[in-house]
Structure 1
C-alpha cells in the first residue's frame, strides 16, 4: 500500500522567480475601525442609559394615525416646490407646495424658465364656482403693479360694483340710451393725420382698413352671407372714398356703418369705376347680398347702438373701464354676439398706439356668443390674442366649459378649427369646478391626465375659488383667497340672497 504525497507544486510567483521575474507585491489594506456616532449606536426603545439622557422607565402610550401626504403637508418630506417666482398678484394658496400662489402673465412671458409664450388667460368653470371672482380679484390686485382693466362687454353687470368701488361709472349701451360706440372709429391712428409723412400715412392706413375689413367680414358673416374678394373690394373702396383717403385729404372723415351701407346702396360714379364695373347696375347686382346683410344690421342689431359716432368719453387713465351690454339680453345671443364683435374692433382701435408701459387687462366675458356668429366673427378675436404680446395686454376669456368653443359650427368647419386654436393661444388656463360629464372634454381638448381631471371634477367642484391652474405645461392646485371687501365686490348671488322689501323690518333693516 503506497502513501499519497501531499507535496504541492510551485505557484506562478515561484516559477517566474526562477527565471528572474518578480511579481509586484500587493499593498496591504488597512481596515478602518468602526466609529459609533450618535445616530449609529444601538439604543433601546426606552432611550440611552445615564442621567439626563432621556431614559424612560415605561413606554408612553402612543396613538397610531394613518393619513395621506395631502393631509399632512407640514411633515411630509416630499413636497413639490412651486416653481413660479413671487411676482404679480397673490391669488391664494398652492396646495401642492403649501406656499402662496402668484399670478403674473406678463412676467411669466419674460421669464425664460417658465414655459409661457403669451400672456393670454382662459378661464373655465361651472356657474357659481368662483370663476368671475377670481378674475375680479386678479384685476383688483394688479392695480398695485400699474395695470388697468378694460371690460369689453359686461353682459350681466357683474363688474359694476367693482367699477363703482374704484370711482368709475360704467358705460351702458342699449336701445333708448345716449351712449353710442362707432366700431369704425379711427382711434389714436387718426390723430395728427395732416402732419404725417407719406410712409407713415400708408402704414396707418393699412392698419385701419385691415381692422375695418375684419370687423365687416365678421358682421356680414353673422348674417350667413359670404364675404369674398368682390365684397372686400367694394367695401374697401367705399371706405377710402368716405374717409377722403382716395382723394388725398389731409384730414380724414370718420365713417360709420350706416354711411357705408348708403354708399354701397347708392354708389357714386367714383365707387363704380374704382371697383372696375361697367355701370351702376352691374355694381348693384354684384353687391346685392352684401348690401342686404349690412342693411339688416343697420336697421336691426346695430340700430341705436353702433350706428353713429362714439358719444362717450373714455378716461383711459382710470383704473378700470367697463361697457355694459346687459340691456341687450332680451334681444338674444346673436344681438349680444354682434355687439361684442363691434366692441372688440373698437377696443382694438383704442389700443393700436399705446404708450410704453401702459399695461392693460382686457376681460372678455361670454365669448361663446361671439363664436357662434361663425368663423369670420372669430377672426378679430383671434387677431387680438395673437397680438397681445406686442401690445402688452393680458387678454382674459371666460367660458363655462371647453366645449363652448366648439359651438361655432360643425366639427370639421373652419370656425371650430379657429376655436381650437384659441385654446392654444392661451398658455395660462384656469379650470374651476366642472361636472363629471365634462371630464372627457378636459382630456380631449386640454390633454389633462386622469389625476388632473379628478382634481377639476372632484376637489374643485366641492368649493368656491378652487381651480387647477395650467401655466404652460405645469399644473398648480390653487385655492383663491378673498378679503372681506373683495367678497362684497365679487358676490354674484345678490339676486338669490336678497331679502324682499316687504319682508324687511323697516326699523332695523332686517327680516321681521
Structure 2
C-alpha cells in the first residue's frame, strides 16, 4: 500500500495507517459486535434567557470553548461474554473488616483480610479460614505474615508460631513483650509431643461418657504423631503396628485397667514398653510368645529407638518444660539451634512433634480464644513420608472446628509435592492439602514456575504474568486468591513494621 504524503511542520512525513477497531477485527471472521440502539434524543428545551456570544465562541449549540464529547460506540452483551474483551474490569471488593493489608491495585481501594469473617459471609466463596502463602525468598512473605499477625491483635487474635526455624519472628515476639521458647541440642527446653494437654485436666471429675470421648481424642492424636514419626524412619506403619501402639498407649496411661486419672506418657516410655513387654501386652497384641512379639515389632522398636537416641535426644523425650501464657499476644517456639545443625530430617520431625503438641494445647480452647497458628516451612515436614503428610492434613482439617486460622508457608507450589514420587499416594495427599485452604497468597516467583503455578492453581496466563512479572518488581506484591476471586494486592508496611520484618541482617553490610 502506498503511503500517503502529508506536509507537516519541520518537513514531510508519512502518516500512520489508522488503527483497526473491534468491528474491523470481528469483520474478518464474518461477524459484528451487537449494537445497542441509540436512545432517542429529547427535544431541545426552550431557552428563556439565551446567552450572549462569548469571546472566541460561535453562537450555535455544541460550539465554543467547550469541547464536544467524542462519539462512543455502545455494545450490548451478556456478563459471560464481557470478560473475554475486558478481562481487567474490577468487580466488587471484599468487605472492610479485619486486617488492613494494603490496597487493591485494580480498584484502587483498600484491601482487608478477615478469613473468619469471610467464612461467615455467604456472599464470599470461602468455607475454611486456612491461608497458604507461596513466595520466592525475598519477596516479602514473612513480612506479610507478621503484618497480618500484628494487625489482627486489635480484633482479639493471638498468634502461635509452631517452630520458628530461622528466628524470623523473634523480634516481633520481643516487641510484644514475649521471649521465644528455644528448643535444640544442649538447650534446657523440652516439649513432650505426647502431652495430655487440657483434656487431661480434671479427669476424675468427668462423667464416664466424657472420659471416653476425651480418651479417643487423645489416643487418636498420639497415634497420628507416632505414625508420622515411624514413617519418617522409612518403616511401614501397618494395622498390626497400629494395634500394638494403641495397646501400649492404653497400658502406659492406665486406661486399660480403668485408672481414675491418665498417667503422662513420653516417647522413650513407649519404646521401653516395646523393648520390655509385659505378658499382658503380648497377649493383648495377639502374639503367641514373647519372642514372636520381639520378631514382629523389631522395625517398630528400631524406629522409635533411633528417635530417642539420635539428633532429637533431649528435646522431645521427657515432660514439657514450656508452660505457655495463652493470654500473651504471641507465643513462638524456636528451632534455630536444631536448624543450624543442617539436619533437615530432624527439623521436619521436630516440626511434626510441635504441630501435634500445639493441636493438643488447643483442643479445649474457649469460643472467644481466637488464634493464628503459623506452620512455617511446612515443606520440611511434608517431605518426610506419607504419614507425615497425613499428620499435617489432620491438623488443617480441624481449623474450622477449633476456630483457629491455620497459616502455612511454602516457597513454591511444588513444595507439597516433594512428599513422594510423582503420582504416589503421598504426593496426591500433599496436593490435596491445597484444597484445605480457600485463601492463597501467591507472591513473586520466577518464570520457570509459571506453568507449574497455572497447573496447580488453575491460573490463566494473565494471572501467571501477575506473579512472574508484576509481583517480582517490588516486595509485598501478590495475587490473592479468595475462593474463586482474584485480587492484585500491594501490602504496605509502617516504618515500625519495616524494622520488625527486616530479615536481611546477615547479608546487610551496613549492619
* TM range, smaller chain: 0.7 to 0.9
- 1:96 equivalent to 2:90? Answer no
SS at match of 1:497: coil
- 1:374 equivalent to 2:385? Answer yes
Q: Distance in 1 between matches of 2:477 and 2:236?
A: 44
Which 4+ residue blocks in structure 1 deviate beyond 4 angstroms? Answer: 43-48, 53-57
Q: Distance in 2 between matches of 1:449 and 1:37?
A: 55
Task: Give the unaligned 5+ runs of structure 1.
Answer: 1-30, 60-75, 501-512
Query: Aligned runs of 1:363-512 on 2, under 5 Å?
Result: 363-499=374-510
Q: Distance in 1 between matches of 2:42 and 2:98?
A: 57
User: Contact 2:158 / 2:330 at 8 angstroms: preserved in 1?
Assistant: yes
**Partner residue in 1 for 2:270:** 260
How far residue 395 of structure 1 moved from its aligned partner, in angstroms, is 0.6
How far residue 176 of structure 1 moved from its aligned partner, in angstroms, is 0.9
User: Contact 1:94 / 1:477 at 8 angstroms: preserved in 2?
Assistant: yes
**Partner residue in 1 for 2:118:** 108
Deviation digits for residues 440-498 of structure 1 (CA, Å, limit 9, x no counterpart):
11111001000000000000001000000000010000000000000000001111115
**Partner residue in 2 for 1:173:** 183
How far residue 282 of structure 1 moved from its aligned partner, in angstroms, is 1.1
Q: In the comparison of the two structures, how many residue pairs are matched?
A: 447
SS at match of 1:402: coil
**Partner residue in 2 for 1:504:** none
Q: Distance in 1 between matches of 2:97 and 2:342?
A: 43
**Partner residue in 1 for 2:292:** 282
Q: Distance in 2 between matches of 1:45 and 1:398?
A: 68
User: Contact 1:89 / 1:141 at 8 angstroms: preserved in 2?
Assistant: yes
TM-score after normalising by structure 2: 0.84
How far residue 44 of structure 1 moved from its aligned partner, in angstroms, is 12
Query: Aligned runs of 1:191-340 on 2, under 5 Å?
Result: 191-329=201-339, 330-340=341-351
Q: Distance in 2 between matches of 1:83 and 1:55?
A: 42
How has the CA–CA distance of structure 1 residues 351 and 32 changed in structure 2, closer, same or farther, with 3 Å as cutoff? Answer: closer
Q: Distance in 2 between matches of 1:238 and 1:478?
A: 52
Q: Distance in 2 between matches of 1:236 and 1:118?
A: 31
Query: Aligned runs of 1:74-153 on 2, under 5 Å?
Result: 80-153=90-163
Q: Distance in 1 between matches of 2:41 and 2:233?
A: 90
Choose the corresponding residue for 1:35, options 22, 31, 44.
44
Q: Distance in 2 between matches of 1:203 and 1:32?
A: 76
How far residue 418 of structure 1 moved from its aligned partner, in angstroms, is 0.9
Deviation digits for residues 248-269 of structure 1 (CA, Å, limit 9, x no counterpart):
1111111000000000000011
- 1:158 equivalent to 2:162? Answer no
Q: Distance in 2 between matches of 1:391 and 1:342?
A: 19
How far residue 230 of structure 1 moved from its aligned partner, in angstroms, is 1.1
Task: Give the unaligned 5+ runs of structure 2.
Answer: 1-39, 68-85
Q: Distance in 1 between matches of 2:259 and 2:41?
A: 97
How far residue 46 of structure 1 moved from its aligned partner, in angstroms, is 6.1
Q: Distance in 2 between matches of 1:268 and 1:109?
A: 51
Q: Distance in 2 between matches of 1:125 and 1:199?
A: 47
How has the CA–CA distance of structure 1 residues 108 and 32 changed in structure 2, closer, same or farther, with 3 Å as cutoff? Answer: closer
Q: Distance in 2 between matches of 1:448 and 1:80?
A: 17
Tell me which structure has the larger Cα radius of gyration: 1
Q: Distance in 1 between matches of 2:57 and 2:113?
A: 50
Q: Distance in 2 between matches of 1:104 and 1:400?
A: 23
How far residue 302 of structure 1 moved from its aligned partner, in angstroms, is 2.6
How far residue 320 of structure 1 moved from its aligned partner, in angstroms, is 0.2
Q: Distance in 2 between matches of 1:45 and 1:430?
A: 59
